[in-house]
Structure 1
Amino acid sequence: MTASTAETVAQTMEEALERDILALKEEHRDTQPLYRAVAALLFFKYGQPPTANHMYTLVRRGSMSAPAQALKAFWSELRDKSRVRLERADLPEPLTTLLGSFGAQIWELALAQADVSLESFRAEAQSAVDTATAALAGAEREISTLQHVMENKNRTMLAKDERIEALSAELSGERARAALADQQLAEARAEHETMRREAQQAREEARSLLEAAQRDHQAALERLTANERRALLEVDSQRQAASKATKELGTVRQELQLARERAAQEVQELQQQNSSLSRQVGALEGALRELRAQTKRPLQEPSRATPVSRRLRAAR
């Protein structure tokens, strides 16, 4: 079994345990019966030694003393049932009582040591160890005393019966755990197959999206190249237009300079003509004044009007 499969199986067992705990909470409203049921569930179904801390973490009801009290009652009940099975063995009464008491004490010791998280259980376990050790020493002495009255066949049968019973119990537990593990493994494999198909579908979708993105990118690149080519053509056209406009501007400037020179020459000619006209106007005005003066005087000889006429003609 690989590490990932083991983790999946462990997670599946935790989920199944949580579901069983919820079902027990619905079934048992009282705290003590609920904790005893949880202890039995952990021990018989999941093969885990129940502890007060673990039970309180799963149930979260009552105080910390509640699971400890329920756990003690659970072990006591198991001890009593184990003692009843010992009483059915074909043994003398003193030996049966002694072995039953010894087995119960060993049982309490082993189970009390499972809950190492509580100091009270540690003290009780140590006391149980001391008591069991003393009981074991006494039992060994009494068994040694009774061995000469026990037949070899009975001792052999007792050992075989105990071994067969223990192996049967272990075999039943291993079969139950193996069946549960097989079921969980099958569920984990089915879940893995589902996840594999979903991952394959996700990869295909991602591939399709990537191809579409690549096509879009190529189309965008082509559009960008075309736009860049058009922009270069437009820039070249604008450059040519600017060069043509520069040449035309130079021509216009030359024509404007020529026009300015012609206008200056024409202005100069007009100024010269204006000066000439001003002189002519001045002469005409002088002649006009003299003519008016003459018209006011008596009519004279024609020979005296001759200078005025000459000035008028000169003015013209």
Structure 2
Amino acid sequence: MDASLALEAQLHAEIEQLRTQFPRTQELYREVCVLLFFRHDITPTANRLYQLVKKGSMSAPAEALTRFWATLRDKSRVRIEHPDLPAELQSATGELAAALWTRAVDMAQDQLAAGQLESQRSVADAQARQTQAEAERDQVRQQLTGSAAALDGAQTRITELDQALAVSGAAVTTLQEQVRLAQQGEHQLQRALEAARHDFASELDKLRADGALAQERLKAAETRALLEIDRERQAAARLQKELDAANRKAEQGGTRHRDDVQKLQGQLGNLRQQVGVLEGKLDALRTANARYIDEAAQAREQRDQLALSLTPVAAKRQVSTAKRAAERTTGPRTSSAATRKSPRVRKS
């Protein structure tokens, strides 16, 4: 009993502080709901709120309580996002978890409210019977004044009323025990809710850690793709130099080497087009954070295909043909100079 009085006094003191901070009625009821539910582990009800605040009409605490539960359900909704899950499965999983959470809270609140209401009704009935018995006893005692003849009968009636009063007292004790059991069930439900909150918070932390790791992997994939593009650009530059040298030598050999030069130019155009495709894919990779694993795999596959397609075997054959034609036209000196200027092509 002392603990209950101390808790009641503490609640009134804290609510008085909230009155100065939140003069508006709805805001004050909302903060009292937060105080009861989160700080003191008490489930707020409209009657309890009105008893503590005593401000506005009876509809004001009911409206504030409805908004509080709606806000709590919305904030406790879990959104599960993982790159490996399809978007439909992510949404369905989050909605299922939120529905289970909301259903558990509503069932607990309904059961608790029903138990409290039934207990209050039983206690009220027992107290009414006790009051009626006491009134009848007092009436009989007044009638016994000045009536000695009816004293024995009145004494018997008093005894019966005392027995009825004892029965009513036992009923009140039983109902109080039922109320105590209902409160224990409420505490168990509160502990279950806290455990569920802790589990959801842990799962959310894991998902956030997975997201950070995915971001780091995506950055590493971007870095590798940039390096690949830089290497391909360098290879394109080397091929351009080889093509320029072959053009100079082919011009000295005459018009019969122009077809070979055109083939080399076509290969260079294809190479530039492939480099442009790579740059477009890199831009797409930067904008696709949520699908980093698939994009990184595609980037590696494209890199391998590009490495195979950029192997300049045909280009080397055309350059060799141009060199031999130039040697036949300009002599050994030009051939040796072309040999020194021919760059090596590195394989990616």
TM-score range, shorter chain: 0.3 to 0.5
TM-score of the superposed pair, with normalisation by structure 2: 0.30
Larger Rg: 1
